């Protein structure tokens, strides 16, 4: 590998240049920052998707609860049971959104900031 400072050829994996003594690993550090940048963009996209999922799940739950409220008394047992299953699914969707949000925030928090 070539020293980024003086251009002298150094054996692979050496941390400091044998010629000028400067750090030769700065190229690798830059690679890491680019990877970190991509990772946080991915996490940001996941965060956006998670927020959309949560908004949809919340709206869905409101819809179902409104339906149950509106048809209280006239609703058949099977219909009510179906609504409860839907409500469960909406709850699972909501939880997935929460888990995705937490994951994305953790990844963003742990990603080193690009310099």
Q: Does 17 bind Zn ion (CB under 5 A)?
A: yes
Where are any strands of DSSP class E within the chain? none
Q: What is the closest distance, in whole angstroms, from the C-beta atom of residue 12 to Zn ion in the complex?
A: 15
Instruction: Give the C-alpha separation, 34 to 63, whole Å.
Output: 44
Cβ-contact 81, 34 below 8 angstroms? no
Q: Does 27 bind Zn ion (CB under 5 A)?
A: no
Point out which span in 19-27, 33-41, 52-60, 95-103 binds Zn ion (CB under 5 A).
19-27
Contact with Zn ion (CB under 5 A): which of 11, 15, 16, 20?
A: 20
Contact with Zn ion (CB under 5 A): which of 2, 8, 45, 84?
A: 8
Query: What six digits make up the tokens of 107?
Result: 């990844």
Q: What single DSSP character describes residue 90? A: H
């Amino acid at each position: 590998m070539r020293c980024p400072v003086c251009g002298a050829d150094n054996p692979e994996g050496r941390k400091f240049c044998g010629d000028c003594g400067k750090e030769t690993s700065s190229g690798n550090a830059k690679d890491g920052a680019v990877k970190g940048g991509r990772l946080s963009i991915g996490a940001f996209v996941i965060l956006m998707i998670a927020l959309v999922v949560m908004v949809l799940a919340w709206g869905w739950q409101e819809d179902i609860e409104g339906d149950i409220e509106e048809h209280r008394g006239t609703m058949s047992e099977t219909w009510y049971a179906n609504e409860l299953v839907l409500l469960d699914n909406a709850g699972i969707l909501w939880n997935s959104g929460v888990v995705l949000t937490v994951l994305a925030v953790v990844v963003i928090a742990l990603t080193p900031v690009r310099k």
